[in-house]
Structure 1
Amino acid sequence: MSPLSWAAVGSIALSWYYYFGKGNKEMGLFVGLWPPTFLALGSYFKINEIHDDVKALSNPGSTLRDTVQEMMQNRNR
């Protein structure tokens, strides 16, 4: 899981803690609004990564094999 996914899970737990554990419903609801933002940011970064991969595949003059090997090397860094 990515750090943003962990942040979403953590904020859900923190929201439950405030809402049910401490009885602070306003703070629980406020913190409960964070997970969609974290997940949206994670989706945005993943879409950009896929976009870059597709763009690399469409480079004229490069072979598919070379492009895929380069993508795999970039992912391993």
Structure 2
Amino acid sequence: MADQNIEAEEKASSGALMAAGLSVLYSLYLFYIQGERSKGIFVGLWAPTILTIASYVEQTDLTEKAQNELDA
């Protein structure tokens, strides 16, 4: 059961990393190819936001697991 939780966490982390990477690529496309500078900057700000949210969720899960182990 613990292995399933680790696999799910890895999938979530890699999903967030993939989304952040795609947002950077899309922002570069908007900025340089399309010439939409403000849209490119806006989309480029998604990457740190996505990574911050993923980090917060992961930290919350780890805190809950640690608390559950202390209570047991």
TM-score by length of 1: 0.71
4+ residue runs of structure 1 moved beyond 3 angstroms?
none
Structure with more of its chain in helix, by fraction: 2
Deviation at 1:44, TM superposition (A): 0.7
Alpha-carbon distance in structure 1 between the residues aligned to 2:62 and 2:34: 42
**What is residue 36 of structure 2 aligned with on the other side?**
24
Counterpart secondary structure, 2:35: coil
Sequence identity (%): 30
For structure 2, list consecutive stretches of 5 or more residues without a partner in the other structure.
1-12
Counterparts of residues 1-77 of structure 1 (less than 5 Å): 1-59=13-71, 62=72
Taking CA–CA contacts closer than 8 Å with sequence separation of 6 or more, which of the two structures ends up with the larger relative contact order?
2
RMSD: 1.2
Higher CA-based Rg: 1
Shift of 1:2: 2.7
Q: What displacement does 1:55 show? A: 0.6
Structure 1: runs of 5+ lacking an equivalent = 63-77
